[in-house]
Chains A and B, each alone.
Chain A
Amino acid sequence: MSTLSRHAISILALALLATGCSGARSHVVADSARYPISLSDGVRDQDGKLLPDEQKQVVGGFTYSYRAWGWLWRIVSFTGDHDISDAVNEQVAAANGDAIVNMSVKGEMCLWNLFTIVGVLPDCSNVRVRGHIIKAAPPTGPQPGDVEASAPSAALDGPTDREPLAAIAAAD
């Protein structure tokens, strides 16, 4: 084989190996959540009024993670819609909470991206969902007896003190 064709084959192989694209996408949904889920500080009480910060007591942390898979950039999504309703209903009930506020959705790549250099392998993306589970305190302020009666589960991650949300935010 001539030097010229050897170089041509090398360059072609290199181009094929080094050209590719991959990706993953998913959609976070909560179609059957029984509790309000807010990505901001704001949440409404039973009467539809905004709940003041001093009445929001953090009783637990909501955590949920999953890995989304896709193929051919993001054209084919193996994960599609990812419903977090069951996790929301379970964790809020376990913490004796009323709502989730400050929910965040974090997207990350995963190490598998390294292997997608050939461009035909599926790809993945890590998704982490976090939030504060809160309980609405009576407008007159928390009663010491109530604090002891509904202490959060120790198994939950995140802030577990029954402190007003404003205090938690200031500490962050």
Chain B
Amino acid sequence: MKSILKDTTPLLVLVAMVAASSACTLKGTVASFPGYDVPVLLGPTDRIGGGEPLATKVRGEFEEEVEYMQSESSYSTTTHDVRVSEQRWSGPYKLTSTARSKVKTDKGFNIRLTDVMPASYTMFYIAGMKSKVYVSVEGDIVELEEKR
């Protein structure tokens, strides 16, 4: 019995770590552009009322990712057990910041999103786990041909 407990303890510890980390990871992360004036458009309609899309020229690409990542691992030395825990988070203001660095608040531009991908993954291995939730955003920076 003692031997079985000894063998299964690492597995039990791992399951507990996974449970704890999954509960934390449920927080997730958010992609948005708060406080930014340049339209960041998803879909074909680029103005109120619809109609023919405004004539634009592609001036650059936009690509950014926000994430919530947590990892747990452990190892043993001859004298003690070591547990390493890491957390990383980024949210909407990262997107605003990146957008501002690429497109100043210039009224003649739009960002037209071509991909908004929420995703998550979890990796388990013998000495720990890593889980990550992220939303990656890709698109084109377009300039209106006719200044408004």
- Asked if A and B bind, the verdict is yes
Give the size of the chain B interface in residues (CB under 8 angstroms): 65
Contact across chains for A33 and B117 when beta carbons are under 8 A apart? no
Contact across chains for A125 and B45 when beta carbons are under 8 A apart? no
Contact across chains for A14 and B15 when beta carbons are under 8 A apart? no
Contact across chains for B148 and A49 when beta carbons are under 8 A apart? yes
Q: Mark A100-128, 1 if CB is under 8 A from B, else 0.
A: 00111111111101101101000101110
Residues of B within 8 A of A109 (CB): 22, 25-26, 28, 120, 122, 131, 133
Residues of A within 8 A of B35 (CB): 41, 169
CA distance A116 to B15 in the complex (A): 11
Interface residues of A in 1-43 (CB under 8 A from B): 7, 10-11, 14-15, 17-43
A-side binding surface: helix, strand, loop or mixed?
A: mixed
Residues of B within 8 A of A133 (CB): none
Other CB < 8 Å A-B pairs besides A30-B43, A49-B107, 18 of them? A11-B7, A17-B11, A22-B121, A28-B116, A32-B43, A34-B45, A36-B39, A40-B32, A40-B34, A40-B37, A42-B39, A46-B47, A48-B146, A98-B48, A104-B32, A106-B30, A107-B118, A117-B15
